[in-house]
């Protein structure tokens, strides 16, 4: 089945009374643009139209029409609708899947019927709110609440992106397009698609299908909203299919200009979240923490009232991250056994020694009176230095001027310490550098492995589809050959039968037997379109028996009995009471079988036999295809 295009749907939906099956949709009007064409929102797999009830204009619907088939969609939407009705979450809408709901090009197609929500898509709202940071911060808080409610109810949307998020005039958030939604009853199944790549982790696959699939995109959207509140110039990264992030940023965060600017944001929380997202991107794991878990590490209020970046003298919102002691939670480098405790070497090595914020010195720290304290010189060397000083004649280490040999030793010890410190720093840099290189390589290996597996899956899928296509083609060719042979055979038999048969009682000869499609009231003869092939969407199929005969003095009445066979099994029968007028020399007589509604016919080969006075006078064949 070839699915309609957007223009096909637009043409059909201009006349709701003709194209829809539901009564409430037939009694509605399509929302139009100034040019007279239907207002249309389009995506990759569907397009959406707005219908307004003529009986009550308050009732408005979003009608989602599909541009391509999606397997198992009806069952998933039915389960989703039950779950949404049970949870009644703010931000989700009732979504009804209706099969055979809209008639386009004489074919019935399914739709999704949802309440229409008036508002802006997320990117439209952001574009209008760049000069109002408080609105963006308020929306970020509302986004956090919506995502938290979804996760706590074990729900996931599956394709969180700007076009699937509607912001109303009251700043309320609504999610639309539930094709990839997850609910607990679908656990263990696969996702139908991966969604917009600019909002999804590059490592996500169709097998990743649970309540956690929104974690990555939820963090991306929250960070984008908060970052734009403090740096509106970041909107330059918007390209239509994203907000500010793209897939390229996720694949190479260390080379991303956007990540660089985020980590220079005037907002501490934006800087911290950018680091969190960067670590997620370079990680080889597909697991992403939930948004609430990430934000709970910061002092961020979920209330709507926050101080915007340009209000008063403050440059940050009131809900700031707590001050961080630069020495707190830093790794402690193990010391050699001879070097003593940290408090003996460096007065800032313990919590009571020096507070870098307040500048207080540990009053308990004292340098030994007759000892040169150097943490990089072993005790044995210090003893040698001490003994050397004591062996000098008339030398007192505590008097001025100091002996020249002691000064040289101090210079030597300082130089040794400087060299040791340089190599220590060099070692730390090498550890950091090679750690980053390893991280990059692991990220590349993971990414290309995922790409390779994805390509292998695509290749296997294409090979399977090719085999199925070949098998189907062979079946179609075989079926077509069989139908051609049957048609030729029936045609020969029919021509022989119709060319010689006569209806003796009324002195008439059978000229032809034809078939045509019509409605309940039939079709005027001049408008009939004769055919031997019909579809399951047909309603009534009529036969037309054409006779030639001489004129007569009186009217002759006769009865035609018609028997219908499907695949050589009797399917229906009926009688036609008809007549010949005295002046007629040619006449046609018709009757038919079918239903007022479409899609009642079953595909197959049909045969109609006509009898007069128990004598077979004509045979006709036609085919019904899907």
Q: Give 499 or 42, the one with higher predicted confidence.
A: 42
Choosing from 450, 482, 514, the residue where a domain stops is: 482
Q: Average pLDDT in the 605-612 region?
A: 93
Contacts for 554 with CB less than 8 Å, ≥ 6 apart: 582
Q: Give 535 or 356, the one with higher predicted confidence.
A: 535
Q: For 53-62, 248-257, 305-314, 445-454, which range has the lowest pLDDT when averaged over its residues?
A: 305-314
Domain containing residue 265: CATH number? 1.10.510.10
Q: Average pLDDT in the 68-77 region?
A: 84
- The model's confidence at residue 485, banded by pLDDT at 50, 70 and 90, is low
- The model's confidence at residue 466, banded by pLDDT at 50, 70 and 90, is confident
- The model's confidence at residue 309, banded by pLDDT at 50, 70 and 90, is low
39 belongs to a structural domain:
yes
Looking at residue 32, what is its pLDDT?
92
Are 154 and 262 within one domain?
yes
Long-range contacts of residues 415-419, Cβ cutoff 8 Å, at least 24 apart: 416/376, 416/377, 417/374, 417/375, 417/376, 417/377
Between CA 532 and CA 609 the distance in angstroms is 15
- The model's confidence at residue 301, banded by pLDDT at 50, 70 and 90, is low
Between CA 201 and CA 546 the distance in angstroms is 70
Are 476 and 598 within one domain?
no
Are 431 and 460 within one domain?
yes
Domain containing residue 14: CATH number? 3.30.200
361 belongs to a structural domain:
no
Q: Is 279 within 8 Å of 259 (Cβ atoms)?
A: no
Are 388 and 454 within one domain?
yes
Q: Using alpha carbons only, what angle is made at residue 415 by residues 413 and 417, rounded to the nearest 5 degrees?
A: 70
Choosing from 432, 447, 482, the residue where a domain stops is: 482
Q: Using alpha carbons only, what angle is made at residue 398 by residues 395 and 404, rounded to the nearest 5 degrees?
A: 50
Are 464 and 377 within one domain?
yes
pLDDT at 327 over 80: no
Are 523 and 460 within one domain?
no
Q: β-strand 615-625 against 604-612: which pairing, if any?
A: antiparallel
Whether omega before 281 lies within 30 degrees of 0, making that bond cis, reads no
| Parent domain of 450 | 369-482
Contacts for 126 with CB less than 8 Å, ≥ 6 apart: 136, 225, 228, 235, 238, 243
Q: β-strand 615-625 against 533-535: which pairing, if any?
A: parallel
Are 569 and 428 within one domain?
no
In this prediction the pTM is 0.51
Q: Is 49 within 8 Å of 13 (Cβ atoms)?
A: yes
- The model's confidence at residue 42, banded by pLDDT at 50, 70 and 90, is confident
Q: Tell which residue, 148, 442, 434, has the closest CA to residue 279.
A: 442
Q: Tell which residue, 592, 582, 579, has the closest CA to residue 503.
A: 579
Are 548 and 476 within one domain?
no
Between CA 79 and CA 379 the distance in angstroms is 76
Q: For 121-130, 186-195, 217-226, 423-432, which range has the lowest pLDDT when averaged over its residues?
A: 423-432
345 belongs to a structural domain:
no
Are 100 and 235 within one domain?
no
Q: Is 195 within 8 Å of 106 (Cβ atoms)?
A: no
pLDDT at 119 over 50: yes
Looking at residue 404, what is its pLDDT?
56
Are 101 and 124 within one domain?
no
Q: Give the phi and the psi of residue 270 in degrees, each rounded to 5.
A: -60, -45
What are the helix (H) ranges across 290-403? Answer: 291-295, 342-345, 379-391
Looking at residue 610, what is its pLDDT?
92
Domain containing residue 525: CATH number? 2.60.40.10
pLDDT in tens, 241-253: 999 999 999 999 9
Question: For the chain, what percent of residues have pLDDT higher than 90?
Answer: 49
313 belongs to a structural domain:
no
348 belongs to a structural domain:
no
56 belongs to a structural domain:
yes
Choosing from 482, 509, 543, the residue where a domain stops is: 482
Q: For 159-168, 287-296, 435-444, which range has the lowest pLDDT when averaged over its residues?
A: 435-444
- The model's confidence at residue 468, banded by pLDDT at 50, 70 and 90, is confident
Are 130 and 262 within one domain?
yes
Are 172 and 275 within one domain?
yes
16 belongs to a structural domain:
yes
Between CA 563 and CA 573 the distance in angstroms is 4
Angle between helices 268-282 and 215-230 (to 10 degrees): 150
Between CA 475 and CA 566 the distance in angstroms is 20
- The dihedral built from the CA positions of residue 478, 484, 485 and 486, taken in this order, carries a sign that is positive
Q: Is 213 within 8 Å of 191 (Cβ atoms)?
A: yes
301 belongs to a structural domain:
no
Q: Average pLDDT in the 118-126 region?
A: 95
Q: How many domains does the chain have?
A: 4
């Amino acid at each position: 089945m070839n699915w309609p295009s957007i223009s096909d749907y637009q043409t059909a939906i201009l006349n709701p009374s003709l194209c829809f099956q539901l009564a409430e949709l037939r009694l509605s009007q399509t929302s139009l643009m100034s040019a007279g064409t239907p207002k249309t929102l389009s995506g990759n797999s569907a397009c959406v139209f707005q219908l307004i009830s003529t009986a009550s204009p308050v009732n408005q619907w979003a009608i989602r029409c599909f541009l391509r088939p999606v397997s198992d969609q009806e069952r998933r939407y039915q389960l989703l609708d039950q779950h949404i009705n049970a949870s009644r979450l703010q931000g989700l809408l009732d979504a009804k899947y209706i099969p055979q709901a809209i008639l386009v090009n004489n074919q019935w197609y399914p739709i999704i019927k949802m309440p229409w929500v008036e508002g802006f898509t997320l990117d439209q709202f952001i574009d209008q709110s760049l000069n109002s940071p408080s609105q963006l911060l308020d929306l970020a808080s509302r986004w956090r609440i919506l995502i938290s409610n979804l996760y706590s109810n074990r729900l996931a949307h599956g394709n969180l992106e700007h076009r699937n998020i509607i912001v109303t005039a009251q700043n309320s958030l609504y999610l639309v397009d539930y094709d990839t939604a997850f609910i607990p009853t679908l656990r263990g199944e696969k996702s139908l698609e991966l969604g917009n790549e600019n909002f999804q982790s590059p490592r996500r696959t169709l097998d990743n299908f649970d309540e956690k699939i929104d974690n990555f995109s939820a963090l991306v959207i929250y960070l984008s909203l908060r970052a734009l509140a403090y740096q509106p110039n970041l909107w330059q990264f918007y390209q239509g299919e994203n907000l500010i992030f793209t897939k390229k940023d996720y694949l190479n965060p260390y080379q991303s200009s956007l990540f660089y600017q985020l980590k220079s944001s005037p907002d501490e929380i934006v800087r911290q979240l950018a680091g969190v997202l960067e670590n997620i991107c370079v990680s080889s794991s597909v697991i992403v923490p939930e948004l609430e878990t990430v934000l709970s590490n910061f002092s961020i209020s979920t209330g709507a009232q926050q101080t915007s970046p340009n209000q008063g003298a403050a440059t940050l919102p009131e809900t700031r991250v707590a001050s961080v002691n630069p020495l707190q939670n830093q790794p402690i480098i193990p010391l050699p056994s001879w070097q003593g405790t940290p408090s003996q070497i460096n007065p800032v090595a313990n919590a009571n020694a020096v507070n870098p914020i307040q500048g207080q010195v540990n009053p308990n720290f004292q340098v030994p009176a007759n000892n040169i304290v150097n943490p990089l010189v072993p005790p044995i060397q210090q003893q040698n230095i001490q003994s050397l000083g004591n062996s000098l004649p008339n030398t007192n280490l505590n008097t001025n001027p100091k002996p020249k040999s002691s000064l040289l030793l101090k210079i030597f010890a300082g130089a040794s310490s400087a060299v040791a410190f340089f190599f220590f720093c060099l070692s730390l840099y090498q550890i950091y550098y090679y750690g980053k290189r390893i991280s990059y390589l692991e990220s590349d290996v993971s990414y290309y492995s995922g790409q390779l597996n994805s390509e292998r899956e695509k290749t296997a899928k294409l090979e399977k589809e090719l085999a199925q296509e070949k098998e189907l083609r062979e079946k179609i060719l075989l079926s077509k050959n069989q139908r051609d042979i049957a048609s030729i055979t029936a045609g020969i038999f029919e021509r022989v039968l119709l060319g010689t048969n006569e209806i003796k009682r009324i002195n008439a000869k059978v000229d032809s037997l034809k078939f045509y499609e019509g409605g309940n009231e039939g079709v005027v003869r001049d408008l009939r379109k004769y055919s031997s092939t019909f579809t399951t969407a047909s309603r009534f199929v009529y036969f037309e028996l054409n006779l030639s005969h001489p004129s007569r003095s009186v009217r002759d009445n006769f009865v035609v009995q018609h028997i219908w066979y499907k695949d050589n099994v009797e399917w229906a029968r009926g009688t036609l009471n008809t007549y010949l007028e005295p002046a007629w020399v040619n006449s046609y007589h018709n009757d038919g079988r079918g239903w007022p509604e479409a899609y009642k016919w079953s595909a197959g080969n049909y045969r109609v036999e006509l009898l007069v006075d128990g004598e077979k006078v004509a045979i006709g064949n036609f085919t019904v295809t899907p």
